[in-house]
Each structure stands twice: as structure tokens, then as C-alpha cells.
Structure 1
Amino acid sequence: MKLPVNKSKLISELIKQEDTTGSYTITVDDLGEKEFFIGNEEGENVVIKGTYHLSNLLQEAALLINKEEDIILKHIVEEPVTRISRVIKDYYWDKLTRSFDNEDLLNVLEDEKMQGDFLRLYVPESDAEALAFYKQKTIGHTHVKVETISENISNEEIIALNKKPGILALAYSKEKEKSIPFVVPGGRFNEMYGWDSYFIGLGLIIDDKFDLAQAMIDNLEYQIIHYGKILNANRSYYLSRSQPPFFTSFIKEFYETYSDKLQLSWLKQKLTTAISEYFNVWMTENVRLTDTGLNRYFGEGAGVPNETEPEHFDTIFKTFAKRCNMSLIEFKEKYNKKEIVDETLDKYFIHDRSMRESGHDTTNRLDDCSAHLNTVDLNSLLYKSETDIAYFITTYFNDSFSYNNNTFNADEWLQRANKRKQLMIDFMWNEKEATFYDYNFIKKEQQPCVSTTNLYPLWANLCTQEQAENLIDKQLPNLICKGGLASTSSLEIMPKDGIERQWDFPYGWAPHQMLIWQGLKSYGFEEKAQELIYRWLWLIVKTVVNYNGLIPEKFDVNKCTHQVDVEYGNVGTNFKYVTDGGFGWTNASYKLGIKFLEDKHLDSLNMLIDPDLIFSKTLRI
């Protein structure tokens, strides 16, 4: 049944009647009438009742505001499980898609941090065709500058570039004379992010968005070729910083799903690029490869990370200002101008940038120590990369693959992986506590912290079955909350500065959930995987139903809410009428969870049955 109404008028009337909090949404916090009459195509009145259905009506009107289509009643009364999946596939991925073509250009370039007279787009100097293309695209935009940067840019050049920051161009299709699109996380994040892209890619593949998933891989490859690494994000001040390495995993998921559409030459090119990233980014000695033979995150550059707010490090600066008998303002100004040199503070910012390269910005686990740690998560990811490369060579290239005048067989990559596995057991495995811990190679000791990242070896498939059982028996219960996995245990000690950090307890994030679900399934712990999937999806569905379709960046999984009071707030929660695409990896986690969740749990999700009633035997923190 269609509802042929004036959508603008409908939105206005709905908000006036139901939105009592002034949020331009309809939520459980509103005290409206919770009932609205609307005419159908037969001229009859249809009554829409309750927060969920009224908010669906508002969302449908907003989604179709610029279209001639009528609102369809079945979409208003659609069960939550089906509705969420449909709107992610049909609307949200498109909402989160960007490109550097003329109609999208300013949307990408404009940013609150871009100060000065010009919005800058930087293009690699070696990509002459892209340079000509982008210069043509920006004709008429007098406040936009297209400039080149060298491919082998030095730290000094990056620091100098911080005075005139801008967006870094991504891949361009000569055949189509268009820039290749990319999907952004959402909210204030309006650029392409490194590890977000892998998880977003999983969601795109599940929704059969072939072209868009391929575009994401093409853009990641472009970054490796032209900027030397997969960047934290494609902004100039991220040129010195990579992110967790998921490139081979993305290639594998995509190629094995769409091998009938792709030629082997496509895989050969991508595998060549992946091997290049492995050697040139992660296996560079004294940078990201340490004397232990294991790896660390290492954000190069100097001083305060450019993406942070001016007051972000005031707690740290106050301590150093007091030692120098200076005011906070005076000390910050002199330090930022390099009129004061403080080795201890310099090291703190090295650790901070390294923590941001890990994607876990910020967490007490890595605060003021990240560059000294061989972390479980990074080395698990690199083990997975090594075994992926071995798999590609064996499965698709007859056990012989040429790269940079060398010919590799699969055994060489398996040897690398097995060596890494043994080093991880030697340095990271704690027999007494039956878990992996990060290893501080400066102090030559493990750094115990109960963290979801300790479970990455399950996803990478590097554990023995016995180790996996021990991890699940002894480590996992400390991380399970009502709404899914917390980043760390509640048992971890709050730091002296008392600042809650968003990658610690009680906050839960989509990438952690997705990796651990897959890890549990690969070791045969299907029942535990079902529980954790249900807990997370229940929290997403509960939030969508009660808060106008909201899909945020993260959750407080202990209190089961998106309303958080933490250092960076919660992206994806501020919108009018309809969420502006949700949030990339949270969308993807929903799609992956629904793919994995057994049918018997779907009705429970629609009825929002409390997970503790279904999984009552679970011991939770």
C-alpha cells in the first residue's frame, strides 16, 4: 500500500507533534502523542503508532524527499531485522560514498581543520594524467588549489606540509574519465580510512556491491603505490602514518567471492602490491620491524598529531609546564615552535602517533608505550598476511610468484609465518594466564592487559586448538558484556589522569566484534559465536528501534547505550530526520552478524528479547 503524501509537509507535522526534545528525530525520549494519522492511496486514514513506526515514517519521508516515489506502508511496519538490512544496502552505502568528481569535490575537501585561503588537493607528481584530470575538475573553484607532492616524501617535508594541509587524491580511471569512488566511515570522517575500509568492504561484499568494493581495493592499492603505505586516512597530515594491515584479507574475500568476474591478472597486480606493502612498510628494520623479529606500530613525524583538537593534550602539557615554571599557554606555544625541546615529551608524542597508527586511538593499553610494544594484534595481522600470500601463490600461481627480481614459492611465506608464530609464543604467550600479551621489547617483559586484541590470534588462525580453548575459557569471559565485547576488561586500572579512553572498557567497537566472531567460528566455537553475535546485534537493533534508526560509531556495551561521555564523543549520532548513512563498520558488522546468525535467533532480535534471558548461563563482567 502506498501513502501518496506531501513529504515535506509530513516531516514538518511529524516533528511538530512528536519531537518534544528538539532533536529533529522521534525517539523514546520524546513525549509526543505516539500516534499519527496519514492518508493512503484509497483516501482512507491509516494510523501509525509507537516510536519505532513513527520514526520509520519520518525516515522514509526524508529518504524519498527528492524522489517522486510514494512512501510504502510495508516499509513503515517492517520488522527491524529486515528493515535495517534493507536500508543499509539500498541507502546507507550510497550516503557514505564519495568521489573527487566535480559534484562531490567540495564535499570531500571542506573540513573544519582546513584553515587558510585555499582548500588543497594533493596529487602525486608521478601521476600526470590524474593531475591534468583534477586541474580540469577544479576550474571555476577559485578557492581550490591542486598541487603535487613527491612520492618519496620525507618526514621534514611532511612536517612542512602541515602548514598547508589538504586532501590526498585517490585513484582515477582514465577510461571513464572519473575519479574512483570510496566509502567513508561517516559523520565528521569524510575521507577514506585505512582499516575501516576492510570492514566496510566486508559489508559491501555481503550486499553484492561489486563495483564499490573493487573501488575500495583500487584506492588502497593507489595509496601503497603513490604514498608508500595504506594511510591512516587520505589527508596530508597522515602521510607518516599507516593503519592495521588488512589488505591481503580484503583481496582474498573479494577475489574468492567474485573470481568469475575477475581475471587472474587482476589478482597478480594486487598481490604484487600487497607484497610491496609487506616489505616496504612493515618489514623495514628499526622502523616497524624490531630486534625481536616481531613488529610494532610506529607513527613517524614529530610533535602533536595534527588531527587533534588544540586542548586535547592539555593534561599532559600542564605537567611539563609546571616543571618549567610556565603557564600552560606559554609552554605549549614554545614547545610547538620548537623553542623548548623536551625529550620525554617528544617520546610521549612518538608513542601517541604510534597508538593512532594502530587504529586504537586512544587506549590506556598503548598510552605512552606504543612504540615500545610488539603487539598481539599487529603480529597476528602480519601472520595472516603471510599465510594469505602463501595461499595465493599455491592456489592461483602454481607455487611460483615473481616480485622485484625474486621468485617466491608458498613454503617461503609459510616459513615466515611459522617463524612469527614461534616468536609470538616465545615472547607473548603467557602460560600461567593462558593468553597472549603485548611484549615490551625495551623492558624485555610482557605488558599484561586483558584486551580483545589478545584474541586476534583466533581470527588469524595461529593458535593451537588447546591455546584457543584456553583463550576462550580464561580471557574471553572477562570481556563479555550484555551488549557484546568490551575493548578491555573492567579489571584494568584507570590511569592517574582519570581520562576515560574510547578503546577501553566499557566501549565496544564493530571491528573487534567481527574479528572475534570469525575467530570463534574457525575454531569450532559456534555456540559462543552465536551468543556474541546476538548480543551485539541486539544492541544495534535496540538503538535503531528506540532512536530513529541511529547506527553509531561505538557503544557502551556495559550500559548498552550509544550515549557516551568519552574523549571523542560518538560519531554518527547527530542528524536530522534520518541517519546520514549510519556508520561504516557498524553497518558492516550488522550485515556480517545477520549472515552468521542462526534463524532461531532472528525472531528474538525482532522482539528485542534480552540476551541475558537467552544466554543465561554465560558468566559476564
Structure 2
Amino acid sequence: DPHLAGSTGLSRYYDFGEGPPPEGIQDEAGYYHRVVVYYLAHPDAASNHLVELKQPNSDTVGFTFGLQLCENTQAGSKCDPLKSLALSRDFYKGDRSMRESGFDVSFRFGPFSADTHHYAPICLNSLLYKQEKDLEKMSLLLGKKAESDKWRKRAEDRKQRINQYLWDSQRGLFFDYNFENQSRSSYEFITTFYPLWAGLATPEQAKAVVQNLSIFEQPGGLAMSRHESEGQWDYPYGWAPTQLLAVKGLRRYGYNADADRVSYKFVSMIAENFRRDGTIREKYNVVTRSSETNVGAGYKANVVGFGWTNAAFLEFLHDLPRDQVERLDREQRQGTVAPASRRLSERTWPAAGGTPAPPSKKSQQSGFRAGD
């Protein structure tokens, strides 16, 4: 099975396509040129991803770039010979697999995550464990005990392998595992909270992960990592879906005070930015608590009206204690609210036919409320 991570018995991200994917060409202008320039300047990181085309080479697919390195000196510029360079098939396999993972782009699986397909990731295997446990329960409810036992055995086996390969007891974090060179990654990433959300972490493991919360926690919530790669899935950015899984994981193991604190940081940041520009975005800079982003590697836009941010906001708001919801409401009322960014509860939405509907009496009475 190509989706198996070597002999670990765990799963990996793996895309069956070849060469650059459509979004890498259409939406990320200059991305692969940037990758080649990076590898040219960091030859130790290039490994088998950068190919010099001295003659036709079957190991390449996609673009060809003519580049040279130059050094400016007092005597003038000194340049290496012009090289014809391309990215290897293995690079594009990793690039496509990174996009399959959804974490595009970070440096989590090496520069530009070009080695994604060489790793057993903690996120994917936690999700599969949760799915196997769900299928175990569903089969039992349907009276199919043999199938239930099969899914229970699969989940138990995956949990054992996660503990063997992906848990670092000294660091107190879950990491990804490179099965090609048989080494565990040391790249701190927010997916270390996935085992808590899935319920596969032991109480001792959960405690250790929570003790490392400060690695990720910022004024606006949890950062994806502590590594500033200029990719949108790294520091200093925070995303709603990973934020939600982390907070749900904290609550599952009884760390409600930590969950409340992180939740409040995230929702107050969203509300603050909404008050300023009337939009909700797909990602935020959780260090500066701003929707203004400066992504250098990969997809650079910060899309408006992204559904998962809206959904996570409501989930967090629902789970927060009443006093914190009331605090959030007070903060929004005290702000200077422009017409385009009124309190969420007072915004008007088009009725049938496109005519704005007047706010209801309920929406006129208050802003955020516990249980809304």
C-alpha cells in the first residue's frame, strides 16, 4: 500500500500525481523559482530535490530554470557559471503530498515540506485512530461484533505504533517520524495536540504536552510552530481548525482553564479584527493579533469569509464560561465601531430578493451572550 509509511505500520500522505499541481502553477506565481533559489543557496538542504541539467535527465519533470549565484565585492560582481536547474520527481511527489496533507506550505517536513511522503505524521495517524474508534462503536451499535473487534484491534495497533515512533518522552511532545532515515523529527508543530483530541494520549502524555503549551501560545492563540519559514502554516500564523482540535483536546483531558485562556485569545483577536475591517479571515498572525499577513512561500492570500474560522469562533464562544463571554461583549461595545463592522449580533443580512433585513429586537438588545 503506497499510503503506508515504510515498515512502521503507520500511514503517510502520498499523492499519485507527477510534476507540479495546478494550484502551484495558477495561484502561487514564482513559487518553484523560489524553491530552486533556496536550494541553490542551501545545497545541504537540496539532497535529491535539485537536479542540474548537464544533459537530458529522466529524473526531472516540470520547469527548468537558468540561475547563477553572484557575489558582490569591491572589485565588482563575481558570478558562478550559469546553471540549468530543475526540481526532481521526488520533490514534486513530496510537494503534492504536502498539499494532500492540507499544510501547504510549512517547513515541517524539511524545506518546503518536500519530504512529506517520507514521514509518518502525527496528525494523519491521530485522525485515522479516531476514525477506527468511531467505526468500532458504529459496528457494535449495528450488532456487528466481528467488525467492531476488527476496528478495535486496528486502533489499538495504531496507538501502540504511535507511542513507539511518534512520542518523545524526553521532550513531552508528539512528533512526526522520517521512516526513510529512521529518525523522529524535532520540529515542534501544533499537531502535537491531535492525540489529545483523538483520545489516544495517556493522562501522563497529555500532562506533558500541556506543560509545553508555552511553545505555541501567543497573544492571539496558538501558533502553528516556532519556526518562521515564511510559509502560511508556520510561525507566526494561527488557523481555526488546528486551534479547535487543540482546545478540544485540552478540554478532553480536563485542562479547561488552559482551554478557556487559549479560546479567549483567539476569539477576541477575531472580534477585534472584525470590528476594525468587517471581515473574518482564513488565518491570523497570532503574535501581532492581526489579519494582516506577509506570506512569502506558497499561497499568499488571506481569504475573507472562510467557513472554518466562523465555525470555530462559534464553538469557542459556546464553550467559554459566561463571565468570559460577557467580557468579550464589553470589549466589543467599548471599541470604536465603524458602520461596516458593527457588533456581530447587530449586523443585518440580505433577506429574500437582496433587500437588507432589519435587525430583530433580540439582536438589538445585546452583543455576545453565553450559549449563543
TM-score category of the 2 structures, normalised to the smaller one? 0.7 to 0.9
Report deviation, 1:456.
0.5
The alignment yields a C-alpha RMSD, in angstroms, of 2.7
Report deviation, 1:414.
1.1
Matching residue of 1:51: none
Residues 98-149 of structure 1: CA deviation (Å, up to 9, x unaligned): xxxxxxxxxxxxxxxxxxxxxxxxxxxxxxxxxxxxxxxxxxxxxxxxxxxx
2:131 is equivalent to residue 385 of structure 1: yes
2:156 is equivalent to residue 418 of structure 1: yes
Report deviation, 1:595.
1.3
Gaps of 5+ in 1: 1-284, 401-407, 574-581, 610-621
User: What is the distance in 2 between the residues matched to 1:564 and 1:501?
Assistant: 10
Report deviation, 1:393.
1.4
Matching residue of 1:606: 329
Task: Count residues in correspondence.
Answer: 294
User: What is the distance in 1 between the residues matched to 2:51 and 2:96?
Assistant: 24
User: What is the distance in 2 between the residues matched to 1:286 and 1:561?
Assistant: 41
Residues 61 and 89 of structure 2 are in contact (CA less than 8 Å); yes or no, is this contact kept in structure 1? no
Matching residue of 2:219: 482
- Larger Rg belongs to: 1
Q: TM-score normalised to the size of structure 1? A: 0.45
Residues 175 and 187 of structure 2 are in contact (CA less than 8 Å); yes or no, is this contact kept in structure 1? yes
- CA separation of 1:531/1:593 partners in 2, compared to 1, >3 Å: closer, same or farther? same
Residues 506-528 of structure 1: CA deviation (Å, up to 9, x unaligned): 00000011101111111111111
2:81 is equivalent to residue 336 of structure 1: no
Q: How does 1:214-253 map to 2 (within 5 A)?
A: none
Q: How does 1:25-424 map to 2 (within 5 A)?
A: 285-288=1-4, 290-309=6-25, 310-318=29-37, 319=40, 323-324=52-53, 335-336=61-62, 345-366=88-109, 367-394=113-140, 396-400=141-145, 408-424=146-162
User: What is the distance in 2 between the residues matched to 1:558 and 1:289?
Assistant: 35
User: What is the distance in 2 between the residues matched to 1:419 and 1:322?
Assistant: 40
Gaps of 5+ in 2: 41-48, 65-83, 333-372
Amino acid in the other structure paired with 2:273: T
Residues 2 and 14 of structure 2 are in contact (CA less than 8 Å); yes or no, is this contact kept in structure 1? no
User: What is the distance in 2 between the residues matched to 1:287 and 1:520?
Assistant: 30
What is the DSSP-based 3-state SS (H/G/I as helix, E as strand, rest coil) of the residue aligned with 1:569?
coil
2:320 is equivalent to residue 597 of structure 1: yes
Alignment partner for residue 553 of structure 1, among 254, 257, 282? 282
Deviating more after overlay: 553-562 vs 595-604? 595-604
2:294 is equivalent to residue 565 of structure 1: yes
User: What is the distance in 2 between the residues matched to 1:419 and 1:343?
Assistant: 41
2:260 is equivalent to residue 539 of structure 1: no
Report deviation, 1:384.
0.3
Alignment partner for residue 193 of structure 2, among 450, 455, 465? 455
User: What is the distance in 2 between the residues matched to 1:487 and 1:437?
Assistant: 13
User: What is the distance in 2 between the residues matched to 1:545 and 1:516?
Assistant: 26
Residues 39-66 of structure 1: CA deviation (Å, up to 9, x unaligned): xxxxxxxxxxxxxxxxxxxxxxxxxxxx
User: What is the distance in 1 between the residues matched to 2:331 and 2:136?
Assistant: 44
Percent identical residues: 32
User: What is the distance in 1 between the residues matched to 2:2 and 2:281?
Assistant: 38
Matching residue of 2:340: none
What is the DSSP-based 3-state SS (H/G/I as helix, E as strand, rest coil) of the residue aligned with 2:24?
coil
Residues 173 and 208 of structure 2 are in contact (CA less than 8 Å); yes or no, is this contact kept in structure 1? yes
Report deviation, 1:608.
2.9
Report deviation, 1:344.
6.3
What is the DSSP-based 3-state SS (H/G/I as helix, E as strand, rest coil) of the residue aligned with 1:608?
helix
Amino acid in the other structure paired with 1:356: R
User: What is the distance in 2 between the residues matched to 1:458 and 1:596?
Assistant: 17
Residues 337-374 of structure 1: CA deviation (Å, up to 9, x unaligned): 89xx9996211111111111110001100212100000
Alignment partner for residue 516 of structure 1, among 246, 265, 289? 246
Alignment partner for residue 440 of structure 1, among 174, 178, 199? 178
Residues 46-99 of structure 1: CA deviation (Å, up to 9, x unaligned): xxxxxxxxxxxxxxxxxxxxxxxxxxxxxxxxxxxxxxxxxxxxxxxxxxxxxx
User: What is the distance in 2 between the residues matched to 1:541 and 1:337?
Assistant: 43
User: What is the distance in 2 between the residues matched to 1:409 and 1:572?
Assistant: 43
